[in-house]
Structure formats: structure tokens, C-alpha cells
Structure 1
Amino acid sequence: MNFRAIALPIGRLLVLISAMMIVPALADALAGNRDWQVFLVSSLVLGTAGLLTALAFRGEPPPSNFREAIIFVNAAWFAFSCAGAVPFVFSELGIGITDAFFESASGLTTTGSTILTGLETLPPGILLWRALLQWIGGIGVVAIGIWLLPGLRVGGSQLFALESSESSTKPYGHTWPFLVRLLALYAFLSITCAALYMLCGMTAFNAVIHSMTTVSTGGFSTSDQSFGQFPGVTVYWVASLFMHTSSLPFLYLIRSVEKPPAKRDTQVLLLLAIIFVASFGVFLAERYVVYDTPFHMFTLAVFNVVSVISTTGYAANDYLQFGPAVIGIFFVLTFLGGGGSGSTSGGFKMFRIAILANYLKCLLRKMVRPHRVLEPRYQGALVPNAVLEGILVFAVLYIGTFAGFAMIYFFLGLDLETALSASITALANVGPGVGDTIGPSGTFQTLPDTAKWCLAIEMILGRLEILAGILLLTVDFWRD
């Protein structure tokens, strides 16, 4: 195995991340905050380390096989989480390594869980860096979902091959044409979202921060109140639109722009149906607790539902105060996740639910008439056995990983509600959990350090669709 080939792209990407630190450094310098020196020194040190690594291994080919790709993506997420934590450690926040790594990992995985409070009083550099981590992480997640996960057969990119002659692992035949389209779409969504936020009354700073954390479905905000700091209803509908759009596969979005599909996509319709049903249920429960205009209550219901199911994690209000039924709705939504692989959202994802539902339907019909030949389909095309097996394996691992980490948190002293909620919100990369401690109005600050490290690992596992991380623990993976 060529570990030099793995180190080369990590070094190059480390240079890119260090360059991004110049942005918060400039923001703090303009605001007169001394943390600009922290960002500048961090950028120079990390950039030098990345440049030396890239120069030392220049000429090496990129990871050329599946094992090298798996090792690279695991090493990259851990290395970049460490790099992103450096400014937090040495800034005036006064937090330790554990909290800094947790915040950085939460940002890069676009989870949005935080240990910070008093966001309104934080310097602009820290707020910008948190948003940039999520924005960088969002585009990284899309790339992983399209190029790496098809090899695990748990991603969704293979489904595009069911409807075209193109290879699902190489959209448009080559990497560069698709990369240009991907970056253009990501930038367009970010700029458009920021512009609309400003039209809704946000300051330019807030608009930029929230556009980056909306399009990346990350959820970091500039206030402890999250979106509750913004008045009116228009801003909530804008946010809901972009959260929903970003939770759809970017490959699907690009192809929809270039050549609108002749038929509607199943995962998109399923996602919209769940959003409608859940929003209506939350709205009905909200009417008995909150005295407000029906339209405003429905707006908040839709916003909160889209925020959770897209795994963004914004909050307009403390929706957990609406009763056990609403708590149950949001707990289930946390499991589901957005449209599909190759999007910035996390969770189980709609395409897997659609395929498993069709598979279950086939099994039930076979039980009635055993001699019938029925195969699961998606968008009218047969689902290959390899893809179906991968999804079934993922489902088992998803539940098993959730339960395993929940038990760890319970044994570390968390109450059962918090342990279960913390596990699924980290695994699905949602952000806020359920309960007084880590709910929409709380933070993860008071959790034990061991629990924070476990949560950070679980966030990364969730971003790697679990299997990419678990493979490293198997003996066969390391055998030649």
C-alpha cells in the first residue's frame, strides 16, 4: 500500500484549509480583535506543514485503489478536524483541546452541535471560521458521496446508472467537467442564498455566515437563539427552500438544470411528502401551546421540520415544548435525513427508505403468492442485488452504531433520553438533540470529555456512511 500517495493530497488540502484561515484573520483585524494573530500564525504553521508534505511526496500518484481511498478519507477527516481546532485552542475562547476538536469536527462534518455559548458576543473571526468549516465540509461531503461511497455500495450515486449509460462513479466520464459544475452550483446556491437573506433584512455579515451554513446544511449560527433572532416569516421560507435544495443529491440538481428529467424522482417526492405530513402534525400540536397567527405557526413548523430532516439543525423556537408527540416526530425525523448520497445532508436518506419500502412490498406480495417473481425497483429500473445488499448492511450498521454509542453515553452518566438523542444526532449529523441539555435551546458543553470525543468520532463515522470507518477495524482490509 502506497502511504506516500495518501499523504500527498492531505498535504495539498491542508494548504487550502490554511489559506482559508486568512479570511477570519482579516475579519478580526478589521474588528480590532487580537485573535487575528492566532489565525495568521495558525495559517502559516499549518500551511507550511502542508506545503512541506506536498513537496516531500510530489510526483506520487493519487490514491489508486479502494483501500488507499478508504484510508485517505478517514485520515483526511481526522487531520482536518485537528487542523480546524488549532485556532479554537489558542484563541481568546479559553477552551481546551477536547472542546476545540469537538467544535471543529462538528463543523467539518456539517453536524452543527456546539459547545459554545454567548455566540452574540464572540469575535467575527471565530464566527466566520465556524461557518467556513461547515462550508468546506459540505463540498467535501458531496465529493465523498459521489466518488468514494459507490465502492462501498451504500451510497446513492449508483442509482443514476440505472437510468443512463454513464458510469455512476465517474459522472460526465471525467472528474474535471463534473467538478467545475459542482463548484459552480455550490457557489451559485451560496451567493443566491446570501443575497436573499440580505433582502430579508439580515446584515451582510449574518447573511454570509448563514448562507454558508444553510447550503452546507450545517446549522452554525451567530446567536444562541439560532434563527429565532430574525423577525418576520420571509427569512424562514428562504432558509427552508435552500435547506431542502441542498439536502438533495447535487448530481441530481446538476442534471435537472442541464436536462430536466422526464419523470419525477422518487426520493424527492418522498422527502416532500414527509416534510408536509410532519409539518402539519407539528402545526396541529403547536396550536394548543402557542397563541399566534396560523400562518406564522405553520411557517415555524415547516422551518423546524425542514431544518431537522435536512440535518441542518437550525431552530426557530424550542419546538420540544410542544409536547411528547412533537418530540417523537423530531426524533424520527433525525433518523431519516435528506434526499440522497452526494448531498450535504446526513441521516439514513430517502433513496434507501424508498428502496427498502419497495423491497418489503415485494416480500409481502411473495408471501401471498410464493411463486411470483418480483424484484425491487427504483424509478422503474431493477435495483442490482449488490446495491440492495449494501443498503441492507448499511441499515443494520446504522441501527447498531446508534445503539452502541447510545450505550456508551448512558454508561458515561448521561440520562437515557440524552444518550439516545446524542447518539442519533451525531450519527445523522443533525446538530441539536432532544432534552434540556442538548436540545434546541441547549449545548453540548456540559457533557463529559470522553462523551465529546466519542461524539466527534461518531460524527465522522456518520459522514463516512459508517462502513468506510468500520472497514479499518477489519483484519481482511489490511491483508495484501
Structure 2
Amino acid sequence: MTDRILNQPLFLLLMGIGSLAMFVPAAHATLLGSHYEARSFFYAGLLGFLVVVMVGLAMSSRQRKRGEMGNLLALFAGFSLLPLLLALPFYEALRTTSYLNAYVEMVSSLSTTGATLFEPERLSPTLHLWRAMVGWLGGLLMWVAAAAILAPLNLGGFEVTATAAPGQSDILHGRFERADPQRRILRVTAKLFPIYAGLTLALWIMLAVSGDRPLVALCHAMSVMATSGISPIGGVQEHGSAITGEVVMAMFMLFALSRLTFSTDTLNSKQRGIPTDPEFRLGILMVIGVPLLLFLRHWLGSYSMDEEQNLLLALRALWGGVFTTLSFLTTTGFESAEWGTARDWSGLNTPGLIFLGLAMVGGGVATTAGGVKLLRVWALYLNGLREMEKLVHPSSVGHSVGNSRRVRKQGAYIAWIFFMLFALSLTAFSLVFAAFGSSFENALVISVAALSTTGPLISLAPETEIVLTDLAPAAKLVFCGGMVLGRLEMLAIIALLSSDIWRR
């Protein structure tokens, strides 16, 4: 019986998981005495589960051909069509919004973008819990899909690596080709789910002990692990754990800088783990370097007033820059409570451009972070370094040493192709949003937020907060398309369009 259930199509399994997840907010609403919300989630979950069971029974005797591209298509359907089901209880429970707005909210949550159309006061605690849960499940889906679906197809950043990546020309390559795709997904899920859930539980307990309310601590814990930036109180500026909570969250945000922080499936015998990982080292360099530049910008002028007072102010400004930089680099999007101090210290009134740049760089390959990814930036850096060496010694022969061995021979070329595709996508979406009536600045911010899956950019990057509910219905659907494209990346969409799956 279990094997028959697990052998169902991936999209059907995702629908079943989404339907069963609705019973958690139903129980939460029942405990709070909100029976209408409880019924909305319970009936939607029951209806979805019955549909999944009936479709599964109808397809149980059907022989289907398993393939990597079929799972990639199911992943695309999961991010674009599954929110139609997830939005149903949200729409019924809220009762003061359109179904389109509920769908946009669920696409934003599932893709770990975290952009919201609603003020925190408008949503009940149960709806905040549902948003955070959907984002958390979307992060888990990306952890699993990276190793089980994207890596065997050399997508999602693995196209840049030479070895030490599932799906590349290593020992794992032959094993992945022989393994059944469905079995591989289940095996990877069984390995990563306990780690993902355990880290979330640990962060929840730490935030609760630090002073956050249980629901706020849980939502923030799930949002940090999924890099969704979803908060029931509109951010971490007003949370009860203060700087202690930010320090704890920053420690767990490091998991979005490199996959080696939580899994060894990209580690080979030539590597020594985190200390030699180029993604983690480049991410730490940016987390330290950007705040230091902001910190030192007006150091002399600020320090000359009151030495004792400015020492404490300087430490607060430095921490505000470190936390906010790490948050946007991992595409989480939480703003530190001390970011205002850091901004005033540096003298920058409009730091939105810094946020946009950090979000576009993004986190590590095969993590929940979005953006261009640190490994691609590293590959472009190595290529630029080699070109400068050739300017000095035109006849020199390049060679791979140390961390550069992880990048394949054509890695920089492929990384540059992806970067150009990202730039073209950014241009196209900016033009579309501008055509729908947004200003150039707002169109650019919305496009970067969607393609980098960093929703909080919409409220923090521009001088005036962008209200998503003011967008035209067509613009909201384009925004959903941008979030799905940013989550799966353009190369995966091209692989879907050019595959032979449509010929069948």
C-alpha cells in the first residue's frame, strides 16, 4: 500500500501534502476559538485530500514512463498550479479579498519570495501561520528538488560545477542515471527532512527563549530556514527577542550560503568541507565587507563628538549592517532593528540600491536562497582573474588549483550565459510592469524582488513603499510568473520548453 502511494506522480503527492498541511491551521484556529477559519481550512484540506485519493485510485493501474523532465515539469506545476489549491482556505477564511490576491499571496509564500499584499493587522494568527507554513514547505521542496531533480539535469547552478555535485561526472552520476527518479526523490526527502525540521525546531525554541511570542518565534524560524522573510508582525524590528534573536537568526541564515552547511551530497574526497568552500567564503566576505564600508564611511566625523556614546552607537550600527547584509544576501529580507542606526551612521539616505545588489547576488547553489547564486559569481571572478593574468603573460597556461577545481572548464561561460539571461529577464519584466503603469524605479524593484525571490525589497528598497494591491490584475499575474521563474531559474524553463516531453 505504501509503495503504491509513493509511486504516484510527483504533482499528485505535492497536492496531497498541501491538503494534509491544511489540518494544522485548522487545529490552530480551533484552539483559538475561530471556528469559521477552522472550518475553512478543514473543509479545503478534506476536499483536496479526497480529490488526490480519487485521482490516485484512477491512475493506480496506469503504467507511466518515469523521467527527469517529467519531474521538472511537476516541479514547475507545483509552484504555478499548486497555489490554486493552497489559496482556497486563505480566500475563504479572510473573506475580504479576491481569489486572485489569495493566489498571488500563496505563490509568493511557496516560492519563498515573501512579498505580501496585506498589512499584518489584517490577517489573523492562523492565516499568518498558514503563510509561514507554505513558505517553509516551499523551502523544503527546493532542498529536495535541488539534489533529486535539478542536479541530475545539470540545472540550478550544478551546470557550473565540475565535480562534487550530484548529477555531474562523478561516481554519483552513474548512480543517478540508474536510479528511479521517484525513488531518488523519496530517498533525498528522507535524508533532508529530519535536518530541515530539526533546525527549524531548534531555532523556534531559541527565539521563544529569547523573548518572542510562540507564534512569532515559529513563523520567524520557518521563514529563516526557508529564506521567505514572512513575519506576522511585519519584520524583526518589533520582535521581543531584540538583538539576541537577531544573532540567533543570523547563525541559521548561514545555511543559505552553501549546501555544505547542511548536506555532504556535494562533497568529494578532494574537498575539506566548509573551510574551503568558495561559496561560503565569498558570502562571509560580502557579509563582512559591505557593513565595514558603510561603517567606515563617516567614522572620523562621528567619532569626534562623544567617544563613549559613539562607541556603543558604532557597535549597534555595525551589527545592523551585518545582519541586514546577511539577510538580503540570503534573500530572506529581514531588516535589523539597528539598520536605521547603520544608515544614519553611514550617511546614506537611500540604501535601496545596496539591497537590490545583495539580493541579485543571492545565496548558495541548491539552497533555499534565490538570486544569481554565489558559485556563479565565483566562476566569473575566476575567469576575470585568469584574463588579467593573460594580459601580463599572454603565453601562460591556466591551471586549476584549490577551490577553482570545483568550477568546470566551461563554468564561467555557462555562468555568464545565466547572468545574461537573468539580465534580459529583468529588463523584460521591468518593461512589462512599466507598461502596466508603474514608475521605472518601482518596476525595477518589483522585477528584482520577483526574480531574486526577495519579497521584502518591495517595501524596503524604494523611497515610497510599493503597494501590490494597487497593481492591475494582469500585472499581478506577471508578478507570479516572475516569482516562479526566479525560483526555478531561466535555464530550467528553457530545458522544459526544449525537451521532448511535449512530443509525447
Output the TM-score relative to the length of structure 1.
0.88
Pairing 1:297–2:317 present: yes
Q: Is 1:267 aligned to residue 279 of structure 2?
A: yes
Please report how far the alpha carbon of residue 279 of structure 1 lies from its aligned counterpart in structure 2 after TM superposition: 1.9
Question: Quick one: which of 474, 487, 490 aligns to 1:450?
Answer: 474
Secondary structure at 2:468 match in 1: coil
Task: Kindly provide the CA deviation profile for residues 217-244 of structure 1, in whole angstroms up to 9, marking residues without a partner as x.
Answer: 1111011344433353111111111122
Do 1:248 and 1:343's aligned partners in 2 also have CA atoms closer than 8 Å? yes
Aligned amino acid, residue 323 of structure 1: L
- Residues 1:196 and 2:206 aligned together: yes
Residue 253 of structure 1: aligned partner: 262
Rounded to whole Å, the distance in 1 between the matches of 2:29 and 2:10 is 30
Q: Is the 8 Å Cα contact of residues 132 and 212 (structure 1) preserved in structure 2?
A: yes
CA spacing shift, 1:163–1:466, aligned 2, 3 Å: closer
- 1:323 aligns with one of 329, 348, 354: 348
Q: Is the 8 A contact 1:85 1:101 kept in 2?
A: yes
Aligned residue identity for 2:407 = V
Is contact 2:442–2:466 with CA below 8 Å preserved after alignment?
Answer: no
What is the CA–CA distance in structure 2 between the aligned matches of 1:335 and 1:293, rounded to whole Å?
30
Tell me by how many angstroms 1:298 deviates: 2.1
Kindly indicate whether residue 492 of structure 2 is the aligned counterpart of residue 468 of structure 1: yes
C-alpha displacement of 1:368 = 3.9
Question: Retained in 2: the 8 A contact 1:286–1:297?
Answer: no
Q: Deviations over 1:245-304 (max 9, x none)?
A: 23421x552229999926521110000000111122344569899987222222222221
SS in structure 2 at match of 1:91: helix
Q: 45-54 or 364-373, which moves further after superposition?
A: 364-373
The residue type equivalent to 1:44 in the other structure is L
Contact 1:434 1:440 in 2 (8 A): no
Alignment check: 8 A CA contact 1:112 1:220 kept? yes
Task: Return the letter of the residue paired with 1:354.
Answer: W
**C-alpha offsets along residues 58-116 of structure 1, whole Å, 9 cap, x if unaligned?**
25567622432332221222221211111122122411122111110010010111101
More moved, 305-314 vs 437-446: 437-446
State which structure, 1 or 2, has the greater radius of gyration over its C-alpha atoms.
2
Tell whether the 8 Å contact from 1:152 to 1:467 is kept in structure 2 after alignment.
no
Map 1:138-153 onto structure 2 (within 5 A).
Answer: 138-153=139-154
Paired letter, 2:117: I
Mean CA deviation greater in 206-215 or 127-136: 206-215
Q: Secondary structure at the match of 2:351?
A: helix
Q: Alignment partner for residue 96 of structure 1, among 90, 95, 98?
A: 98
CA RMSD of the aligned region, Å? 3.4
1:31 corresponds to? 32
CA distance 1:19–1:180, change in 2 (3 Å): same
After TM superposition, the structure 1 = structure 2 runs for residues 406-425 of structure 1, keeping only pairs within 5 Å, are 406-425=430-449
Where do 5+ consecutive residues of structure 1 fail to align?
A: none
State which drifts further: 207-216 or 48-57.
Answer: 48-57
CA distance in 2, matches of 1:386, 1:61: 39
Kindly provide the CA deviation profile for residues 438-464 of structure 1, in whole angstroms up to 9, marking residues without a partner as x: 679665232222222111111111111
Q: 1:121 to 1:32 in 2, by over 3 A?
A: farther
Instruction: Please tell me whether residue 308 in structure 1 is matched to residue 328 in structure 2.
Output: yes
Alpha carbons of structure 1 residues 152 and 377: separation in structure 2 relative to 1, 3 Å: farther
Q: Is the 8 A contact 2:69 2:496 kept in 1?
A: no
Distance in 2, Cα, partners of 1:286 & 1:54: 64
Deviations 1:410-469 (A, max 9, x none): 111111111111101110101122677967966523222222211111111111122222
Is 1:393 the counterpart of 2:413? The answer is: no
Q: How does 1:35-434 map to 2 (within 5 A)?
A: 35-59=37-61, 64-117=66-119, 119-120=120-121, 122-157=123-158, 162-163=163-164, 165-167=170-172, 175=184, 178-230=188-240, 232-249=242-259, 251-255=260-264, 261=272, 263-284=275-296, 293-317=313-337, 323=348, 326-340=351-365, 342-374=366-398, 379-381=403-405, 383-385=407-409, 387-433=411-457
> In the comparison of the two structures, how many residue pairs are matched?
473
How far apart, CA to CA, are the structure 1 residues paired with 2:54 and 2:213? 40
Q: For each residue in 1:5-27, what CA deviation from the matched residue of structure 2 results, as whole angstroms up to 9, or x when unmatched?
A: 99822222211111100111111
Report the residue type matching 2:130 in the other structure.
W
2:361 aligned partner, one-letter code: L
1: CA distance, partners of 2:100 / 2:26: 23
Q: Partner of 2:12 in structure 1?
A: 11
Asked if the contact 2:213–2:240 (Cα under 8 Å) also holds between the matched residues in 1, the reply is: no
Q: In the TM superposition, what whole-angstrom CA distance separates every residue of 1:345-369 from its partner, at most 9, and x where no partner exists?
A: 1111111111111122223323443
- Aligned 8 A contact 2:330 2:363 in 1: yes
Q: Say if 1:38 and 1:90, in contact at 8 Å, map to a contact too.
A: yes
2:22 paired residue number: 21
The 2-side partners of 1:279 and 1:212 are apart by 26
Contact 1:417 1:434 in 2 (8 A): no
Question: For residues 158 and 417 of structure 1, do their structure 2 counterparts lie closer, same or farther at Cα, with a shift above 3 Å needed?
Answer: closer
Distance 1:464 1:196, change over 3 A: same
Give the Cα–Cα distance (whole angstroms) in 2 for the partners of residues 162 and 452 of structure 1.
Answer: 40
Residue pair 2:250, 2:326 contacting (<8 A) in 1 also: yes
**CA distance in 2 between partners of 1:285 and 1:84 (Å):** 47
